[in-house]
Structure 1
Amino acid sequence: MTSRHGSGTGGRRIAPWIIVTAVAVVVVVGLVIGFVLITRDDRSEATCTNQVVLQVVVSPSAAPSIEAAAAAFDATAPVARSACVTTDVTTMAGPDAAAALAEGWVGQPSQAPALWFPDSAADLTTLEATDSAMTAGRNVAPRATSPVVLAMSAANAGAVSAAGLQWKDLPGAAGATGSLTLPDGGHLILALPDPTTNRATSDALQSVVAGLTGASVDPAAVTANAPALAALASGGPATPPTTTSDALDDLVSGGAGFAAVPVIASDFAQVQGQSQGLATVSPGGAAVGDQIFAVPVTASWVDPTANAAASAFLAYLRGPAGTQAFTDHGLQVGTSGSVPLPDAGAAVATALAGAIGGAGTSSAPAAPAPPADAPSGTADPGAATPAPTAPSS
């Protein structure tokens, strides 16, 4: 018996509608993926009808943080009022920026800013005494802070920390006749660069006066406590180091003739790699220090687009990435890092120089020596700039 076999093309046939459906699905998925990729890559370009450069002016101590934050902000392709935003950061000392803003930014080499980041409440006060409306939109609290501390060898830092000193205790504990004995048997002698040109010295001495008086610091309070300040300064080098960088180098090399120098904590963080073997101590009590304010500028040159760009950058700084930009450069953010005492300004710095016999008592002030030993691109730790001449009315 023979058997029958089916033909080679036998079997079940696929329905045409299934093939058509599968092809259609593939086509739709491909179109969706293509649309997503195109819109993701071109979203910023598609929503920008023009460009805006957000001009920012920042004090030297805040410059590393703001420059880092601005670069990261630009990388997010920000848009303000349909304009693609990029930032341009200019570093300028607070007193100079306050004077330039008060004078309408006339004759300045950089474009007028929509945002200003001073590091001292005294600089804000100077501008607001002339034009309070220009800073009316600012937050009264600083965005970041950094207190003044004392830098010294790690061995001495352990002994000073163990003593539990407060700022108000320093006139009795430090100096040539101070009560505190260091591990090497010496006294806690401080190097105090001229407070009229060194904000760290000024901040440290202001912290001492504030602790002694329990009140705000003014020239009268400095004069009343001049003997205590002179005792604190006693025993130091006949010619104090010109800059904080000089003093830190002397401490690292040994045989400095002093045991400690005031320094702003965030400044020390920037140069700590070059100051091996040193550590810092934070005396108890309220301390003066840097206060970084975020100030949107209200002026004729700030149009609505620039204002919106400034608001976007400020919102970025309030977020985690902005906070990280500050903390990465040694600044403190939040209530735990607040500096309760503002810098009292140039008049107090001059009075402090007189109290410790500094250069500020000279009737013909000499120009401060440039901090040649400061790292490239980094301001001298503690350095300050002379207050500018008040703008004419």
Structure 2
Amino acid sequence: MLQRFRRHPFRFSLDWLPLMDRWLIAELVGPLLFGIAAFTAVSLSVGVVFELVRKVAEAGLPLSAAMQVLGLRLPGFLVLSFPMATLMATLLAYSRLSGNSELTALRSVGVSTKRMVAPAVALAVAMSLLTFVFNDVIVPRTNLSASITLDQALGKAIAAERGRHTLYSRFGRISQPDGESVRGMTQLFYAQEFSDGEMKDVTLIDFSRTGQRQMLMAKTGRWNEAKAMWEFRNGRIVSVDEANDTTTSANFDRYFYPLSRDVEEVAKLPTDANLMTVGQARRAERLLLAANNKKEARRLRVRIQEKFAFPAICLVFGLIGSSLGVRPNSRTSRSQGFGISVLLIFVYYLMSFIFSSLGITGTLSPLMAAWLPVGIGLAGGLVLLRQASR
């Protein structure tokens, strides 16, 4: 084998696999490619093509830009089609082999059902790894590029860093009248819009001293690197002294305020976890926890776990599809396989949505919310495999 590799260093060969495994994998590849093409075409048409056609006709989107956006959005829909195609491929391939009595011939020579489905499980594991790579490395970048390309083609202003309704709360020690301090919220920051490093329509409330409140309102705010503080412009400061029941206010053209730069980092966070890699999502979670935004941090923890759990759906569907197809005298056409696949996929994704919602609300831990559907699916697949082995 080593000599053959030296003669053909770029030639991929499966000669090291047993003949039966090579045969079964070859039977699986055709339906797998068909499933990827079919499911991608359907989901892409519903999710992108109709919208792009409308923008070309009504908003004057150039056809070349529409094609570019379509190509950039393609990886995101490929990721969705991989699990569905795995289910359809295993179900169709093993159903055809069972209907043609080829699996019966294997049983007659002592090959167990578990041994027959081993190549399907191995292919499903490979599809899980491919799905994770696409979902974490390729899709976030291409989806972001697609959004920027579409906005540029439609003549919208593009900012590399843009956000709306930035809310940041800072916690620390609050001074008490007796000289001691307690932990609590010290500042609450809100900006209506963030664009190109500049906050717009800013409101900042200071709670750092008991009995006193200070509210800062400004048109703009920007981080000043030299002073390591926020520089606010064209605003007003209102101070309320509860002990003396007095209120003072002053306008300013320029005002420096000592607040963490984490405000800017929070504003840069994408609102959609699908636009973030696992590393970016973990960093965003730390920032949200630092800002004491526990609800959004919990939601992001669920999404992080789902980024790992989602590729495992390929393994679940591969086990279920092969277990259903390997049953004796099982015969399923492509149309029947497509229909069964859609039904199973709907049930699984409905279950995933329910568990995900429970995780976001705090009823379930993020780990359980993301992985329980996978565990239930694998358990169901093993039950089906056991029944098929009888």
TM-score, normalised to structure 2's length?
Answer: 0.22
- Considering fraction of residues, name the structure with more helix: 2
- Considering fraction of residues, name the structure with more strand: 2
TM-score, normalised to structure 1's length?
Answer: 0.22
